[in-house]
Every structure is written in C-alpha cells, then in structure tokens.
C-alpha cells in the first residue's frame, strides 16, 4: 500500500502580519493567512474542501485560538467534505498530519490548515501573561478554573508552565553537566537568525551576557528561554499530490510521526522513511522553551539523550552554515509563538528557495519540523519540490 506521505504535498503557504499587540480582529488575521496560502497554491477558495486547525474555536487560555473551523467556513464560503479542529491532537502540526490522512484516504483534495493566535492582544484584557500561562485563571484574584484535569495538580502548588521546563533544565545541570551558557545558544542563535528575517518579531541583538543576567521566571528558566506570545495567523494548503497546481513549488512529505511523546513521534517518523538524521539539511524544532529544542534534537537522533546541550555548545553546529542549521527564521523564541506553524512556514520557504535575506546557501533538500511537547507531539520530515 502506498504511504500516505507520498499522496499529499504542501501546495501553498501563507501568513498574516505577526507581531506584538496588533489589536487586529483575529478573524482578519485568519482570513489574511488563509487567502494568502490558497493563492500561493494557485487555487481559489472554491477548491478548498477540507479544513484542519488547532485547537478549534474553544480553549480556556485567552487568545490561544483566534478562529475555529466553522468561523473559516463561514468567512470564506467554503464547501467542506472533511474538517477537524481540536486540541488533543499530535501537537499543533498534528493538523497537517490529519490533513495528509484525509487527502490520502480520498476524503478531501485540498485541505486548508491554519493556526491563529492573538494572545498578545488578548492578555491585555485578562490580567497579563501569568493568566495565560496558568491556563485561563489566577490573575487579579479571579477564580482559578479546573476545567482541565491537569491544572488541579499544579495550581495548589503555584506551578506555571515554565516550572516544568525548569525541572528538566535543573536536572540536566546537576546530573549531566549542562550549563546555562549551553541553553543560551538556542536563544542566541535564534536571535541572530531573526535579525536576518524581516518578518521575525524580536530582531535586536541578544548577547550571552544579557541572557545570563536576564530576569528569572523559574530558575534556571529565564525570560529568554521562553517563547513570546504574539498575534498572527499562518496557513497551509495540503493537496492531493496529483492535484497540486504547481508541483515545482510543492513541498513533499518524506515521513510523519504522530506518536505521543518526543522520542516516540521522532522514532515513528524515521521508521516511515529511508532518510537518516544525517540527511537533514535544516531543523525547525519546537522551542516553546529552549530546553524543548534540546529535547527535540535528542529525540530526532541528532545526538543522544542528555547530550543536546553539548550538541549546541558554542552554537557553531546549529548556525546557518553549520552542521544542522536550527530554527533559521528565529524560532518561537524570537519569531513569536505560532505553535509550530512558524517553523513549518520557515521550512517551506527554505525548501522552495524563497526565504529571501535569510535563505540558506546550502540549497536545502530535506527539513525536519516538530511541534508540541510532552505527550502532544508531532514530527514532519519534508522534502524540497521535485
């Protein structure tokens, strides 16, 4: 049986403005990205017969979702044969995995995948950043909600998301000899990449000294270890391979991993391809916290478990021109929290040779993109247009 990966391509990609506190209706951002992606694919909205999004219209965290499936259906007048939107999928890019499955199964021909956030604007009305990271409650004396099973095991102890990343970092520092200087490289390389990417959000230089002296959030997680809430939307069109209007610009799927867990998702992806880690020309790994990027590098087999900090030590290996250019558009640390969609967009641009000022000189042919963390994870191995 032909693999699902061979039957689908990314035919188009698009984005809205992405930035801090844009104050723009998130439906406008969504329409901007969706229509750009559809046009980029050489299609019209009449061609779209599927929609796939994360996390759908409903989520407790302010601004974490800007539009749902039905919002887009209504706005763009879509006639849908297949659609899905939800939070419990294989990482945020599980949307794309789902779209590939729908296309491969014949349920849809052109699936619009999108992710819209407006956290940066929404948080202004919800008591600030802490509210978001505590999952919809806690700021300014508002009652903390326990709508999700997880929260009751953290809120009585005053635990926010970064505390989890801090536990991982601290254990590595005490038992595996990892240093803050090593974790810093993820942030510093991302910032240098962002400086060359005019669509990144934070582009001013960031020095090691500034990183080391930065405000601690949950020691050793500092401000620069955390990605940044933004407003914006990114969209893709996943098409049945033989129906893509412009195959010369279509990014291919070499392997997909939807398994639950960093290691499991990566292993599944590698099991579905003949390619090896050594074949990868660039990596866009999920960097909601810098230690997540380290976890993904290890899971993907670029180095062994607990060796990720040595792998990025000094930064040279992961810079453009290095052995494995990492988060070449600035990642989420400097490009904004687009939840994996930013990394996938960057990978598509690089593989199509359309990244402009920050295009890699190496003519990249294979990219790996990951999204999510902990138990909600996905891993995508992509190829340049054939």
User: Where along the sequence are the contacts to another protein (CB under 8 A)?
Assistant: 61, 64, 87, 91, 130, 133-135, 138-141, 144, 146, 148-150, 152-171, 174-176, 215-221, 288-289, 305-306, 372-377
Distance set, CA 282 to CA 18, 132, 349, 360, 364 (Å): 23, 31, 12, 9, 7
Using an 8 Å Cβ cutoff, are 203 and 194 in contact?
Answer: yes
User: Strand 231-240 vs strand 8-15: parallel, antiparallel, or unpaired?
Assistant: antiparallel
**What DSSP assignment string belongs to 283-302?**
EE---SBHHHHHHHHHHTTS
Pick the closer one to another protein by CB: 315 or 372.
372
Closest CA relative to residue 364, chosen from 379, 347, 344, 381: 347
Pick the closer one to another protein by CB: 40 or 287.
287
CB of 40 to another protein, least distance (A): 28
CA 166 to chain centre: 20
69 token code pair: 């499936």
Pick the closer one to another protein by CB: 4 or 163.
163
CB of 353 to another protein, least distance (A): 32
Using an 8 Å Cβ cutoff, are 63 and 124 in contact?
Answer: no
Pick the closer one to another protein by CB: 35 or 67.
67
CB of 128 to another protein, least distance (A): 10
Pick the closer one to another protein by CB: 323 or 374.
374
Pick the closer one to another protein by CB: 116 or 197.
116
Using an 8 Å Cβ cutoff, are 297 and 312 in contact?
Answer: yes
CB of 233 to another protein, least distance (A): 18
Residue 82 main-chain phi, psi, to 5 deg: -155, 140
CA 194 – CA 196 distance, rounded (Å): 5
CB of 91 to another protein, least distance (A): 7
CB of 69 to another protein, least distance (A): 19
């Amino acid at each position: 049986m032909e693999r699902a990966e061979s039957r689908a391509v990314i035919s188009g990609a698009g984005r809205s403005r992405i930035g801090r506190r844009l104050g723009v209706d998130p439906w406008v951002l969504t329409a901007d990205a969706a229509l750009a992606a559809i046009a980029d694919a050489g299609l019209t909205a009449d061609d779209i017969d599927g929609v796939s999004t994360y996390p759908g219209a409903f989520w407790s965290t302010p601004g974490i979702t800007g539009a749902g499936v039905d919002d887009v259906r209504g706005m763009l007048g879509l006639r849908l044969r297949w659609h899905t939107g939800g939070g419990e999928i294989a990482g945020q890019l599980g949307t794309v995995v789902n779209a590939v499955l729908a296309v491969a199964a014949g349920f849809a021909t052109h699936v619009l995948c999108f992710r819209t956030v407006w956290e940066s604007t929404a948080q202004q009305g919800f008591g600030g950043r802490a509210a978001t990271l505590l999952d919809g409650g806690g700021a300014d004396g508002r009652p903390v909600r326990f709508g999700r099973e997880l929260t009751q095991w953290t809120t009585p102890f005053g635990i926010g998301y970064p505390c989890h990343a801090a536990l991982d970092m601290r254990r590595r520092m005490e038992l595996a000899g990892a240093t803050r200087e090593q974790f810093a490289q993820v942030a510093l390389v991302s910032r240098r990449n962002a400086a060359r990417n005019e669509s990144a959000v934070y582009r001013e230089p960031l020095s090691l000294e500034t990183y080391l002296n930065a405000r601690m959030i949950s020691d050793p997680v500092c401000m620069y270890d955390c990605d940044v809430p933004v407003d914006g939307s990114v969209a893709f069109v996943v098409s049945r391979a033989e129906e893509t209007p412009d195959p010369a610009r279509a990014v291919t799927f070499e392997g997909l991993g939807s398994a639950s867990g960093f290691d499991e998702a990566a292993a599944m992806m590698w099991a579905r391809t003949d390619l090896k880690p050594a074949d990868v020309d660039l990596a866009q790994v999920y960097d909601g916290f810098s230690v997540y990027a380290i976890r993904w590098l290890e899971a993907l087999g670029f180095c062994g478990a607990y060796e990720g900090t040595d792998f990025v030590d000094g930064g040279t290996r992961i810079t453009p021109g290095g052995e494995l250019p990492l988060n070449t558009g600035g990642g989420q640390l400097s490009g904004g929290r687009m939840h994996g969609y930013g990394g996938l967009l960057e990978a598509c641009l690089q593989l199509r040779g359309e990244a402009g000022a920050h295009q890699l000189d190496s003519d990249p042919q294979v990219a790996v993109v990951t999204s999510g963390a902990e138990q909600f994870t996905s891993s995508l191995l992509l190829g340049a247009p054939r």
